[in-house]
Amino acid sequence: MKKTERPDVLEGGPMRLAPTNEQGVVFLFAHLAKRLRMRVEQIRQGFPDCVAYEKGTRGERRVRIEFEFRSSSFRTHGHSARRCDCIVCWEDDWPERPESLRVIELRKFYGLGPKVWIQPAIASQQQYLDRNQVDWLARKSAHQGDLMLMYRCVPERCIRDIFVLDSDLRRSRCAWREGTGLFGRFRCLARLDAPIFLEDLRTHPVLRTAGFVRARLQGNQNVTSYWPYLYDLIVTRNPKARRALRRFAPDRLGGR
């Protein structure tokens, strides 16, 4: 986790704050194993980290488990999918993992809900934001159901369109540069009659110190920890947007 990000509070969890490393994942798994209908046989230092037996309709089956903070670290660490059945992680950020690998994402068990992202759109892309649905590049740690605040870069420099990620991510070729990227289908939730300008964020008593504001909202950035302040700014200026954003109200995004 980046130092600028704040760990989530785990309401009712065995830890006060969400884990920030693999050891925390192991600790939470130990508390959830019974709920997952798993009986742990062995925890070890070698790969894979754990051997367990999972109860099913036809008895128990052996499951080889690797613990990771993020699922994509399985690939980074050079592990073999043929020698493992399941990744237990805090966050699943590997949409292109082998189909044979099951992923158990522990954050879902603590009701943490969707994330909120800033998604920049350069001048040549802004025409597409007028559509109700659009395919857009996203970070690999984005998930279906996440909220996307679309920032129109120069000349407007404002957030005027709010979308939700309405699909899983898939790899596709980029139209504006060489190579490929992960794209999702974005669906429009609200268009703001009173946009939120970069200057509004720079003068906000709290948001002005945020890293994404200091970076002038460049790059796809996770802004979930600052969502209560962004939400208040949006709905205060745009009362009609409150209804469209009701399921994303900060008090509904558990623990954030």
Give CA torsion, residues 115, 1, 212, 168, to 10 deg.
-30
Q: Is residue 208 within 8 Å of 200, Cβ to Cβ?
A: no
Q: How many CB atoms lie within 10 A of CB 183?
A: 18
User: How much is the pLDDT for 6?
Assistant: 62
Pick from 146, 144, 180: nearest CA to 162? 146
Instruction: State how far the Cα of 139 lies from the Cα of 117, in Å rounded to an integer.
Output: 9
- What six digits make up the tokens of 192? 């703001």
Instruction: State how far the Cα of 238 lies from the Cα of 175, in Å rounded to an integer.
Output: 34
Residue by residue, what is the 3-state secondary structure of 125-176? Answer: HHHHHHCCEEEEECCCCCCCCCEEEEEECCCCCEEEEEEEECCCCEEEECCC
**pLDDT tens-place string over residues 176-203:** 677 888 999 999 999 999 999 999 999 9
Instruction: State how far the Cα of 213 lies from the Cα of 61, in Å rounded to an integer.
Output: 50
The overall average pLDDT reported for the chain is: 91
What pTM did the predictor assign? 0.75
**pLDDT tens-place string over residues 52-98:** 999 988 899 999 999 999 999 999 999 999 999 999 999 898 988 99
Q: How many CB atoms lie within 10 A of CB 37?
A: 12
Kindly indicate the confidence band of residue 256, based on its pLDDT and cuts at 50, 70 and 90: very low
Element (H, E) at 194: strand 180-197
Q: Is the dihedral of CA 63, 169, 71, 88 positive or negative?
A: negative
